[in-house]
Amino acid sequence: MTTAKRHSNPFVGDGAGHTSPLKAAINYLLVCLLVIALFWVSLAMLGYTFDFSFVSQYRMRIAQGFLLTIEISAASLVASLALGTLVAAGRGSRILPLRYLCDLYVKLIRGTPLIMQIYLFFYIIGTAWGITDRVVAGILILSTFEAAYIAEIIRGSLLSIDETQRDAARAVGLTHAQTVRLVILPQMVARTLPALTGQFASIIKDSSLLSIIAVIEITQTMREISASNFKLFECYFLLGVLYLALTLPVAAIGRHFERRFDYAH
């Protein structure tokens, strides 16, 4: 191995687009088979057989839970984008209290686990301010949580745009508004979109924690079903498949954006 030349290192690829699609597909299939085989072997070692006969019995509840997960995730994406943009702007503000408020917000939210935020928000802030609807409270909590991360994404890409571009824009006679619209924004979109789609996948997964305040999204639905039929593994396996059905397409969209906006880097 030590005599191997660098390009023959199996862990360093040839760069993007070199592998033929057919070869990629075959190798990917091989890896999938490997993962399935590992899981299947583990099950065989336990002597446990999966029994999914309960799925048709509960299909309505599963469908409703799945839909609610999508609704909560979509609503949280919109709300957290709005809040995240405001916070990102606030962190660059000249008004110091506003700047520090946004800074503290990002630090507190990113520095604490979501499960703690859900409990405290729902039972203290939610109760005090009369937010009794669990779904609404769930969307608010999730949006508040994700907005801190989105603010960091937006702030990061804003800072990555070179200051000289503004100078150049001014030099060719663009107004401030024109600079933002024609120079800054297009680059911001290109730089944030791939990361934002990744964050959307996180939102979908994080929404599962809302089950602890009895929001009957897909995780809570599966917990309830497994509590009555004790098919814990089948329920959680199906749960994983359902989440993948959401997150894999989102990831594919993210990759599409990455390719589409490749010029930005």
Q: Which residues would be at the binding site for another protein (CB under 8 A)?
A: 1, 3-5, 7-8, 10, 27, 30-31, 33-34, 37-38, 40-41, 44-48, 119, 123, 127, 132, 211-214, 220, 223-224, 226-230, 232-233
Q: Between helices 232-260 and 59-90, what is the axis angle to 10°?
A: 40
In the complex, the smallest distance separating the C-beta of residue 177 from another protein, rounded to whole angstroms, is 48
Query: How far, in Å, CA of 70 to CA of 81, rounded?
Result: 16
Q: Pick from 99, 196, 188: which is nearest to 147 by CA?
A: 196
Distance of CA 156 to the CA centre of its chain: 17
Q: In angstroms, what is the minimal distance from the CB of 235 to another protein?
A: 10
Question: Residue 59 Cβ, how far from another protein at the closest point, in Å?
Answer: 18
Identify which of residues 197 and 220 has a Cβ nearer to another protein in the complex.
220
- Cβ atoms within 10 Å, residue 44: 10
Q: Which lies closer to another protein via its Cβ, residue 2 or residue 164? A: 2
Nearest to another protein of 1, 16 (CB atom): 1
CB of 244 to another protein, least distance (A): 22
Q: H-type helices in the chain, by residue range?
A: 21-46, 54-57, 59-90, 96-111, 114-120, 127-128, 134-160, 163-171, 176-178, 185-206, 218-229, 232-260
- CB of 207 or CB of 211, closer to another protein: 211
